[in-house]
Structures are given as C-alpha cells and as structure tokens.
C-alpha cells in the first residue's frame, strides 16, 4: 500500500474480529514505530502489549462500564512517553510518541488490520497506571486497539486544506 493511500484510507474501527494480532505482526508494527522522528534520537516512546492478566487488572481498575470498552479489540497496546526534566524536550518527546503511535496505526492498516486510538480515563489514573506497572516517569499517550476489521468504513468528509493552511509572506 502506498503511503498516500494508507493515510487517506485508514479509519477508526470499533468492531473487530475476535482473533488476536499475531506476535510476529505486532513486532513488525512496533519495530517500524521506532522510525518516527524524534529530536536528538531520544526514543522516548514505550509500548506495552496487554496480555490476559494485564487486561483483567486494567478492567478491574476501570470499573464495569469502562471495562466493556476494553473488550472491543482482541489486541491492546499502551503507548507512553518518558518524561524529561526539560519542558522543551518533554513536548518534543510527546509529539514524537504521537508520531510513533500513528506509525503503528498506519502500518497496521497497510497490513489489513483495523485500529483505534483511545485515551481512556483509567490510563490517566493512578489505579490504571498501577494496574499496568506504568512508572510515574512515563506519561500515558494512547491505548491502541488492534485487530482484524469486521466492517469496511467510508472516509468521512474533511475540511478543505484552505480552511487550515495559511501561506505567510
């Protein structure tokens, strides 16, 4: 799949087939995420692939209503970023980790998978972080839902580029 096609055709999916993403394929996605741009090659991102025990702990922390949303996809990956004492590096590293997360989603899409980037409250809470052993020196960025799609989704309308682009003289 060409890059432009991947960017234009990737969609957020919330309905997945039950089969988990094979580890070898996850390894490919996460290896490619390492190539996201990051200032001074800090490699600030951390990815945690949730197994059954980690997912159960997170669901207990989330509570019954929020836990149901954690069952949407057969494979969940948590992306975090290492915190820095330097506020400028902190901001750059957060942006780099967002790029790495998007690389995972684009690469997954190019391989026929569906994805969904979430930021559930449970992973911004102490109990959710504790459930997964996320240390305080890391900031939660994304919960990536991955799996095989159960449906095709059409592209939504987008604002024209002229609405968001300005050329300065």
pLDDT band at 32 (very low <50, low <70, confident <90, very high): very high
Return the pLDDT at 79.
98
Asked if the structure places residue 13 within a domain, the reply is yes
Does the residue 74 lie in any domain? yes
d(CA 13, CA 109): 11
User: Torsion angle of alpha carbons 17, 72, 55, 42, nearest 10°?
Assistant: 90
**77-97: average pLDDT:** 96
pLDDT at res. 10:
79
Report yes or no on 48 lying in a domain.
yes
Q: Averaged over 74-93, what is the pLDDT?
A: 96
Confidence label for 15 from pLDDT (cuts 50, 70 and 90): confident
Q: How far is 113 from 29, CA to CA, in rounded Å?
A: 11
The answer as to whether 59 is a domain residue is yes
Number of domains in the chain: 1
Q: What does the pLDDT read at residue 6? A: 77
Tell me if 143 sits within 8 A of 118, measured CB to CB: yes
Spatial separation of the C-alpha atoms in residues 120 and 55, rounded to whole Å:
14
150 pLDDT higher than 90: no
CA distance 76 to 151: 19
**In terms of residue numbers, what domain contains 126?**
3-163
Among 63, 48, 67, 64, smallest CA distance to 141 is for 48
pLDDT score for 30:
97
So what's the pLDDT on residue 151?
A: 80
> The whole model's pTM is what?
0.91
Whether the pLDDT of residue 20 is over 90: the answer is: yes
Does residue 168 fall inside a structural domain? no
- Total Cβ atoms within 10 A of residue 8: 10
Asked whether the CA dihedral 48, 50, 54, 56 is positive or negative, the reply is positive
Q: How far is 151 from 142, CA to CA, in rounded Å?
A: 23
Q: Is residue 80 part of a domain?
A: yes
Q: What is the CATH number of the domain that holds 62?
A: 3.40.109.10
Is 36:96 a contact under the CB 8 Å cutoff?
yes
Is 169 part of any domain? Answer: no
Coil, helix or strand at residue 27: helix
Distance CA 166, CA 86 (A): 31
Residue 10 inside a domain? The answer is: yes
pLDDT exceeds 90 at position 43: yes
Would you tell me how many other CB atoms lie within 10 Å of the CB of residue 97? 27
């Amino acid at each position: 799949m060409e890059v432009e096609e991947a960017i234009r055709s990737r969609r957020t999916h919330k309905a997945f087939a039950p089969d988990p993403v094979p580890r070898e394929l996850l390894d490919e996605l996460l290896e490619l995420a390492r190539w996201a741009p990051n200032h001074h090659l800090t490699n600030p991102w951390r990815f945690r692939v949730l197994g059954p025990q980690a997912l159960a702990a997170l669901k207990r922390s989330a509570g019954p209503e929020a836990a149901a949303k954690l069952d949407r996809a057969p494979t969940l990956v948590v992306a975090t970023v290492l915190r820095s004492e330097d506020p400028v590096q902190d901001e750059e590293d957060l942006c780099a980790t967002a790029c790495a997360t998007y690389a995972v989603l684009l690469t997954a899409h190019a391989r026929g998978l569906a994805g969904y980037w979430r930021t559930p409250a449970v992973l911004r809470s102490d109990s959710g972080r504790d459930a997964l052993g996320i240390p305080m020196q890391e900031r939660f960025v994304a919960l990536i839902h991955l799996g095989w799609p159960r449906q095709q989704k059409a592209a939504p309308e987008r604002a024209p580029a002229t609405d968001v682009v300005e050329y300065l003289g």
